[in-house]
């Protein structure tokens, strides 16, 4: 009987500028990353993770959400998304959930400049995807210390 071995790709950073990202009370206006192309990667699963830092103030009970959004099979992007790191507004939370999956939803405290970390495993990857980050903390995120990355896993015999 053959043994299954797991190999891990080198961790990679996601190109997304969440430094100083403005707050949006409706959780619709956020930031999209540059696209991530998984077509040649052969990953069985990918771990996404990162740290997002609140700004000089934050409203207790507010939320920082991180989504994985995928490009449609016909090569077009839904709801105004594209291949570039840019500010993006989605039509509605319901619409967002039809073409993306939540990676993290972090409930924040009123502590200023607090780092919130997340990790999520995704087993079924789209060919091309992007990260969408949005928050309603009441103030812009910190100007530095924010990062999101991923690492793929390849299983074989």
Q: What is the CATH number of the domain that holds 46?
A: 2.60.120
**Over the stretch 103-155, which tens digit does the pLDDT of each residue have?**
999 999 999 999 999 999 999 888 999 999 999 999 999 999 999 999 999 87
**What's the mean pLDDT when you consider all of the chain?**
94
Residue 5 resides in a domain? no
CA distance to 19, 39, 107, 150, per residue, from 15 (Å) = 12, 18, 24, 11
Task: Output phi, psi for 94, to 5 deg.
Answer: -60, -45
Q: How far is CA 1 from the centre of its chain?
A: 39
Tokens read off for 89: 């507004």
Residue 63 resides in a domain? yes
Instruction: State residue 134's pLDDT score.
Output: 98
Residue 28 resides in a domain? yes
> Is a pLDDT exceeding 70 seen at residue 157?
no
Full domain range(s) for residue 147:
15-156
Asked if 52 and 18 count as a contact pair (C-beta separation under 8 A), the reply is: yes
Q: Which is higher by pLDDT, 63 or 5?
A: 63
Q: Would the pTM count as exceeding 0.75?
A: yes
**Number of domains present in the structure of the chain:** 1
Q: How far is residue 86's CA from residue 30's CA, in Å, rounded to a whole number?
A: 9
């Amino acid at each position: 009987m053959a043994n299954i071995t797991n190999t891990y790709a080198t961790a990679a950073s996601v190109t997304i500028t969440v430094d100083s990202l403005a707050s949006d009370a409706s959780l619709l206006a956020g930031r999209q990353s540059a696209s991530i192309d998984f077509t040649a990667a052969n990953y069985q699963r990918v771990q996404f993770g990162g740290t997002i830092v609140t700004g000089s103030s934050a409203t207790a009970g507010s939320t920082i959400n991180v989504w994985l959004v995928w490009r449609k099979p016909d090569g077009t992007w839904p709801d105004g998304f594209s291949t570039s790191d840019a500010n993006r507004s989605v039509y509605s939370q319901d619409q967002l959930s039809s073409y993306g999956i939540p990676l993290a939803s972090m409930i924040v405290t009123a502590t200023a400049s607090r780092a919130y970390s997340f990790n999520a495993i995704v087993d079924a990857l789209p060919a091309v995807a992007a990260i969408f980050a949005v928050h309603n903390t009441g103030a812009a995120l910190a100007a530095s210390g924010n990062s999101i990355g991923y690492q793929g896993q390849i299983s074989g015999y």
